[in-house]
Chain A
Amino acid sequence: MSPARPFLALARRETAEAAPWGAVAALAYLASLVAGGLAGAGADSAPGLGSFPRMVGWSRSPLALTTSLVPALAGALAMRDDARLALLAAQPGLTRARVLLARLIARGLALALGFAVATALAVAAVLVPGGALPLPALVAYLAAHALGILAFVALGALLAASAPQAPAAAAGAFAILVGPLWDTITFAAAFQGPGLEGLRGGAVPTWLLGMQAANPLVAYAGVMITVEPQFRLALEVAALSGPVPWFVAWWVFAGLLAAWILAGVGGAILQDARRARRDE
């Protein structure tokens, strides 16, 4: 039997078990998009839900929160060291690393599927009344979310492997840290420098842009906002209106997210192997 077959069978089974995560993601993403669409429709006089970029632009905050919190928790709980993990790892053709990898892929797929269902419904809600759907904006939106979901699943797993006693707390704290708390601190830091008027005028220091890129949630947003101007929030419009450093480009942010995925998955599996060796 090829060594890939037990792994694929396991991945299929894990994907079916991860379906509830996909359902939660679909609910949260759909509600975020519809809320954004309604808010955007109420904000100006265009008929129906208007255009897809405007809908996403108005949904940015809840979309970002869903993309960080739900996948991070899903990834963290995938690392649970339970009896089932030991039993599966003892099967021929499987190891702990392969079982964990299958779990992480399954959770990532389930979440991405939930996101895809929500997006398909939101796109239909835009297109039926004759709204606009620019293709580059859609591609950037899909790529950002696919990479963002996988990056946060991987980082949640890494945190859980580092803090096995409280995986949910670790993942939740991380989502808060890179989301609402990061915004408060970086805005405060930025306002001490160029000030509000400076930022509104687009005078964003390079160090601040570099610091922002280190945050995976900012990298996820970066993939979208560098492609489609309508996705941008007020200060982002100002920051990207003039010349920007070379690294403020969609491919850099996409590369950073890919690096987070590899580092997260690799780190989580290595940490788990180290712990398993120590426990033996």
Chain B
Amino acid sequence: MSAKNDPRAAKEERQVSDRLVLAIAKKEFMEYTRRPWILLLSALFVVLVLGAGWFLSSLPAAEAGNIGFVATIGTIRGVVGLLIPIIAIILAHSAIAGEQESGSLGLLLSHPVRRGEVVLGKFIGLFGVLAGSILLGFGAGAITIAMRADNPEWGDFGRFLVATLLYTAAYLALFLLFSAIANRRTPALLYALGVWAFFGLVFETIMLALILKFGTITDAGVDIPTWIQALNFFSIPNLYDELVVASSTAFREMADRQGGFGSMLPFIGERWAAATVTIALSAWVVLSLALTNLLVGRKDV
């Protein structure tokens, strides 16, 4: 009887598949965490958070606000949004293309393992490396800040961490896709840099031009047509910014104080913004991984 008709056999097959995914993820994780430069990248997060805390502690109280998590996040949010895709490029660009170039992808696929399991295992392993660095860096910073702050806003900090991890996953999955599109490391790196430049610079320029052309400046702010607001769903950094602002009242107030536009998706409404943006970022992860799976499945290795 085939595993398709026998529930016990199907369950065993699933367990074997899960074990294979975890084994590949572990291999990927161990491979990267052994490299000293990767550990240095993790240390950058620690220095960044502690540096921001030190910076805030030197400001006059009126300018720094409460030297807690919200103020620290306000200081580092832009830099974190910039650092994560750069580190994700460094980690993910060679994950598939590098193995294909060296021939080890063919060796891996000669084992009884599905290509989808390889893609998922690689993604989980790489995400583990980057998520570990983020949690370690922000955790060390959080402890230092919590010791100084009168009333540490743990809930806001937790929501920021979740949003950052989702942002990380979205970029990693996308760069993994471009690693699968390329057959060698250098083109994979160039594609990833092109994507980073597109999202970080070109997309912003297009949005700014569209807002200047079609938006209306009122006393309350800028009135942006719904179709322009909806374009934000095509930008991972914009979705991240939206998720950070939507996930907490304190962040929304901070964005207002800093003179930003506030929510970039006002047509959704405050109530549903966090859930909608979380689904949109998750869709980026799922779609990128599905396409990567499709491409790796078609590779002739």
Footprint of B on A, CB under 8 Å? 20-21, 23-24, 27-28, 31-32, 34-35, 38-39, 41-42, 62, 65-66, 69-70, 73, 77, 163, 165-166, 168-170, 172-173, 175-177, 180-181, 184-185, 187-188, 191-192, 195-197
Contact = CB atoms under 8 A, between A and B. Distances in A.
B58 A35 contact: no
B58 A195 contact: yes
A73 B189 contact: yes
Interface of B: 35-38, 40-41, 44, 47-48, 51-52, 54-55, 58-60, 63, 76, 79, 82-83, 86-87, 89-91, 93-94, 185-187, 189-190, 193-194, 197-198, 200-202, 204-205, 208-209, 212
Contacts of B187: 20
Given A24-B194, A65-B82, A166-B37, A184 B55 contact: yes
Contacts of A192: 54, 58
A195 B96 CA distance: 49
Contacts of A197: 60
Contacts of A27: 194, 197-198, 202
A39 B209 CA distance: 9
Contact of A196 (B51, B54, B63): B63
A180 B40 contact: no
Contact of A35 (B87, B91, B185, B208): B208
A169 B37 contact: yes
A42 B212 contact: yes
A191 B198 CA distance: 35
B64 to A, nearest CB: 10
**Closest 6 pairs between A and B when the two form their complex, measured CB to CB:** A31-B201, A191-B58, A188-B55, A169-B37, A28-B197, A35-B205
B48 A191 contact: no
Nearest to A171: B90
B189 A168 contact: yes
Given A31-B205, A166-B38, A172 B87 contact: yes
A59 to B, nearest CB: 9
Contacts of B205: 31, 34-35, 38
Given A73-B189, A184-B55, A195-B58, A173 B37 contact: yes
B200 A180 contact: no
